[in-house]
Chain A
Amino acid sequence: MTEPAATALDWAIAALLVTGAAFALVGSLGLAKLGDFYRRLHGPTKATTLGVGAILCASSLFFSALQHAPSLHELLVALFLFVTAPVSAQLLVKSSLADDADAPRPPDTPDTADAADAADDDRTGDAGTGRPATRRPRDRA
């Protein structure tokens, strides 16, 4: 059985498939590795969406060539995903922010965004108190 020679279209489909899957893997790697929820959200919302878009392009090219007719279902799914990914991400952030606002926290705990600064301040702050020299705990009320 003789295999047909690979054309430029085949190489394009192959490249799109592999890069798309690699981007999806990077997105999931970000989801697994990054530090807190708001950072983790970046992987799936951006890298994975791009990866799936590339894979859908590859599929569209492949089936267009196979059936000798344009195959446009893929564009439908790509469009749907590109519209829905930001919506679900925004809903998740809203729900996470609401949970964070409700969470009781000890009065001395610095805000998450200030944690790095506060750690620096601790080293130069009043000896013994363990409290930053200048920064007062933020009033959350």
Chain B
Amino acid sequence: MSPVVATAAEVAIALLAAALLLCLYRLLRGPSPQDRILALDTLYIDTLALLVVAGVRFAEPAFFDAALVIALLGFLGTVALAKFRLRGDILD
């Protein structure tokens, strides 16, 4: 792989790491439960992006399957938590 792509991937990983820290700050700080759910959802999506970039950096397609699983489970988790806040019950 060309050094341009490798360097760009490393820069992107650093930026995403900073994004993850900001999400962690909001997750710990709150104040409302919805803020924490939103922070967790953003954490999922940023982690997905981080895994995809790592897959590019190491030229390894297997990272991508992990990203797919995170996309599916992250959405289900967010919906379940939001519904729980809405009704005190997850299933209708």
Contacts and interface: CB of A to CB of B under 8 A. Distances in A.
A24 B85 contact: no
Which secondary structure characterizes the binding site on chain A? helix
Which secondary structure characterizes the binding site on chain B? helix
A47 B64 CA distance: 22
Contacts, number: 170
A17 to B, nearest CB: 4
Contacts of A71: 61
A141 interface: no
Interface residues of A, number: 57
A95 B53 CA distance: 33
A87 B80 CA distance: 12
Interface residues of B, number: 50
A59 B8 CA distance: 12
A55 B49 contact: yes
B43 to A, nearest CB: 9
Interface of A: 3-7, 10-11, 13-15, 17-18, 20-22, 24-25, 27-29, 31-32, 37, 40-41, 43-44, 48-49, 51-52, 55-56, 58-59, 62-63, 66-67, 71, 73-74, 76-77, 80-81, 84-85, 87-88, 91-92, 94-96, 98-99
